[in-house]
Structure 1
Amino acid sequence: MFEYVEFPILPIVKTHLIINCVLAVITLVIIGLRLFARFLTGAGLWWDDYLILFAVPQGMAMVVIQGLWAPMGVGYPMAETAPNIEHILKMLVSYELIYATSISTIKLSVLIFYLRVFVNKTMRMATKGVIIFVCLWSVGNILQVFLICRPFAAIYTVALMPTAQCGDQVGSFIAIGAFNIITDVLILTLPIPTVWTLKTSKGKKIALTAVFLVGLLVVAMIRIVTLTQLDLVNLTESMVWADFWSATEPNLGIFCVSLPMLGTLWTRYFSRKSPSKLDPYHSSENGTNGTNGFSKLKNSSNPGTDTIVMEDLYAPNKEVYHKTDVAAATPDGDRAGTPLRANSSEEALTMQMGDHRNYHRQPEGIRVQTKWTISVD
């Protein structure tokens, strides 16, 4: 272990570290619940899950570096922390690289999730375009760490700084942060048209949008403000808030983008809504007015406003893509004309019962009615 001059940790720095440690623990719990939800449905993991799992240790590493910095004089004038400055700068290089890869990994996880859920051709093409943009931005983030100074060692070696050729490091941090916000805006706006056309309550739509907004955009905007206050000439004293928000952003991002994946657990164990809305295969033991649970199931075709009309995001079959044919009906009930194509979710559920779908043309538009027929041998 390297030697350094230890300083008493300032109260504000200690508070920041405690907050990020608590957030890191909560994030690990949410990730555990996310994995449990995936395996609970028999779906297993997909690329968006693998990317988030890859981002988790990076988010934890950011908090570890924050903890290592704390007793080195964060918050103190640089004139007092000069004996530790090279150790701080060396860790800053790792800090930048880990931040760049963790944020990029989280963004790519969200975009891959979009590809898994949405089958709209325009949406998928736009998502792939944003993936390319994020990848190029990530490469630029990593390259600037190695190219900002010549020689490279001048980034962390005080003796080389007077003769080295270095670009504006704070300016590069701000530029990276600005592009970070741009990518966040792109990621947030991609699914909004689809999310807001779902047959679900406005509260759920707002909640789903807000989760991504806070996790991806708000913290990035706050962080870029703190970066404008960073002064490399007085690094240790000016880095207090930039250090805090830079360590907060990855873990908060992992936390927020994982929350929507817990819907399966919520509906199974925590929701107090009617079982008929939560589980299409649920049947009550006692019928009402002579109608048993299977009859209710068969006749239930109009979901409520709090039901998201999408197939399970964690369906077992992750590879099968399909569309639903919806055809207009003639007055006598026969299907006629060219079928109308309607998007459904990208995953075809493997049903353990017969699936019979009838489609009817209503005066106000197209109505899709789903019925199940269950036979016992």
Structure 2
Amino acid sequence: MPDEMNYPDWPALAPPPGVLSNFNDPKTLSTSLLTDNAIFLSLMLIVVGIRLYSRAFLSHAVGWDDYMCLLAALCSAAHSFMTLWIIQYGFGRHLWDIRAITLLPSHLKQMGSMGIIGSASTLSIKISIFLFYLRLFRVNQRFRYWVHSGMLFCILYTATYWAFQTASIIECNTPQSLDIAICANSDITTVIVTVINVVADFYVLALPIGIVGRLNVKRTKKLGLIAVFLCGLIASLANVAKLIYATLHLHDQDSLWSAALTTEFAIVEMNLGIIAASMPALPQFFAKARIFHASTYSFLHRLLNRRDPSSLSWFGQSSKSLASGYPERQRGPAVRGESETEVQSLPDIRAYTRIDVSHDDIDLGGGLAQT
């Protein structure tokens, strides 16, 4: 047994053959973790901000699905903060590059809490999508039954995982805890939960496809709705990738390194899932932005192409003379031979700020679709 002078240099795990421990400049996944969080968290926050603005100020139809989406965004942000915080404790490094004395129980508990925060975010995403389905397809009772069943299932299996993870945080924070069954089988439990989560993801995605196919709307609108719902497919594929990696490294003892890699998949899954859940609210925002741009462009175009060039001279001209340069509304029949453009009125700018919605359109910003 090494003497006490060498005790601080014990690695948390014996290195593989031919590999030496590197405590000073170890290989780490901290850069990739920081990059993933910066990119996907920023995109998610922007999209959620647009969603909340559209629902609150454009459609005036804020609902519980928006509140659950906001909760998912807050949990995802907390998960990102925790990920970056525990890097200082060795998260994302090989165990043989970490001194065993530095792996304190309090540090391991903080690492374990990430699973609870991340699962809270994914649960909130699913509930948000389910609640949106209930708003969109309110009159279909059979569909509502399947939505409520899926929601209950997600809540139950997530609560079961929380109970297991809480027990793991309490019990599995010392080397001796590996003899406890719940700690020794933690990897298997994680894989099982991930499998259930993948099944739930595809259930959420596939649920509305059948009812959308029977909607009394144009075919292009059906395809558009299906495309919106399937935007979450990328997030589900990230969850599948996480499942594959976790299965291949089921009994990997280098836990902090493998956990960091699965966390990268989780970052993509959570944030893209929130973005997918917010997609239905985006068209209304961009439609308003496009209308504003069109009205502004039309006004400037007509101002700069008026028949009286002298009216564009802004220097030495009073506001009264400038205003007189605008064409007046026609007060009577046009004089024979007079150009129609010389007597037409300035176009009503409201024409550029109006959306004509036909009877078979679906307002994804907060309206309802009937089957």
TM-score interval (norm. to shorter): 0.5 to 0.7
CA distance in 1, matches of 2:204, 2:74: 23
3-state SS of paired residue (2:366): coil
Offset, 1:83: 3.2
Whether 1:309 and 2:329 are equivalent positions in the alignment is: no
CA distance in 1, matches of 2:225, 2:68: 25
CA distance in 1, matches of 2:147, 2:182: 39
Find the counterpart in structure 2 of residue 176 from structure 1: 193
CA distance in 2, matches of 1:200, 1:9: 56
Larger radius of gyration: 2
Task: Rate the CA distance shift 1:47–1:9 in 2: closer, same or farther, 3 A.
Answer: farther
- Which of 274, 280, 284 aligns to 1:254? It is 274
3-state SS of paired residue (1:233): coil
Cα shift readout 1:227-254 (whole Å, capped 9, x = no counterpart): 2225462212333311211233222211
Gap runs ≥5 in structure 1: 276-284, 286-291, 316-320, 322-342, 346-377
CA distance in 2, matches of 1:233, 1:263: 47
Work out whether residues 177 and 183 of structure 2, in 8 Å CA contact, stay in contact via their aligned partners in 1. no
Find the counterpart in structure 2 of residue 220 from structure 1: 239
RMSD over equivalenced CA pairs, Å: 3.6
Work out whether residues 212 and 226 of structure 2, in 8 Å CA contact, stay in contact via their aligned partners in 1. no
Runs of 4+ in 1 over 6 A off after TM superposition: none
3-state SS of paired residue (2:254): helix
Q: Report 1:180-259 matches (<5 A).
A: 180-196=197-213, 197=215, 198-201=217-220, 204-205=224-225, 207-215=227-235, 217-228=236-247, 229=249, 231=251, 233-259=253-279
CA distance in 1, matches of 2:178, 2:107: 15
Larger fraction in strand: 1
Task: Rate the CA distance shift 1:48–1:73 in 2: closer, same or farther, 3 A.
Answer: same
- Which of 15, 24, 47 aligns to 2:64? It is 47
Task: Rate the CA distance shift 1:7–1:267 in 2: closer, same or farther, 3 A.
Answer: farther
Work out whether residues 92 and 260 of structure 2, in 8 Å CA contact, stay in contact via their aligned partners in 1. yes
Among all aligned residue pairs of Structure 1 and Structure 2, give the percentage whose two residues are the same amino acid: 21
Offset, 1:41: 2.6
Cα shift readout 1:170-220 (whole Å, capped 9, x = no counterpart): 1100110011011111111111123344424276245313312123x2121
Work out whether residues 65 and 131 of structure 2, in 8 Å CA contact, stay in contact via their aligned partners in 1. yes
CA distance in 2, matches of 1:230, 1:14: 25
CA distance in 1, matches of 2:25, 2:77: 23
Find the counterpart in structure 2 of residue 267 from structure 1: 287
More deviation, 160-169/247-256: 160-169
Cα shift readout 1:306-325 (whole Å, capped 9, x = no counterpart): x962245425xxxxx8xxxx
Question: TM-score, length-normalised on structure 2?
Answer: 0.68
CA distance in 2, matches of 1:226, 1:89: 22
Find the counterpart in structure 2 of residue 146 from structure 1: 166
**Amino acid of the structure 2 residue aligned with 1:236:** L
3-state SS of paired residue (2:60): coil
**Amino acid of the structure 2 residue aligned with 1:173:** T
Cα shift readout 1:16-39 (whole Å, capped 9, x = no counterpart): 321222211121111111111012
CA distance in 2, matches of 1:10, 1:270: 48
Question: TM-score, length-normalised on structure 1?
Answer: 0.67
Work out whether residues 280 and 365 of structure 2, in 8 Å CA contact, stay in contact via their aligned partners in 1. no
Work out whether residues 37 and 265 of structure 1, in 8 Å CA contact, stay in contact via their aligned partners in 2. yes
Find the counterpart in structure 2 of residue 68 from structure 1: 85
Find the counterpart in structure 2 of residue 337 from structure 1: none
3-state SS of paired residue (2:159): helix
Find the counterpart in structure 2 of residue 350 from structure 1: none
Larger fraction in helix: 2
Work out whether residues 6 and 72 of structure 1, in 8 Å CA contact, stay in contact via their aligned partners in 2. no
**Amino acid of the structure 1 residue aligned with 2:153:** F
CA distance in 1, matches of 2:267, 2:40: 10
More deviation, 155-164/27-36: 155-164
Larger RCO, structure (CA 8 Å, separation 6 or more):
2
Find the counterpart in structure 1 of residue 142 from structure 2: 122
Aligned length: 290
**Amino acid of the structure 2 residue aligned with 1:64:** F
**Amino acid of the structure 2 residue aligned with 1:188:** L
Whether 1:344 and 2:370 are equivalent positions in the alignment is: yes
CA distance in 2, matches of 1:172, 1:259: 33
Find the counterpart in structure 2 of residue 351 from structure 1: none
Q: Report 1:315-354 matches (<5 A).
A: 315=367, 344=370
Gap runs ≥5 in structure 2: 1-21, 296-328, 330-346
Whether 1:95 and 2:114 are equivalent positions in the alignment is: yes
Offset, 1:84: 3.5
3-state SS of paired residue (2:75): helix
Whether 1:58 and 2:81 are equivalent positions in the alignment is: no
**Amino acid of the structure 2 residue aligned with 1:207:** A
**Amino acid of the structure 1 residue aligned with 2:62:** L
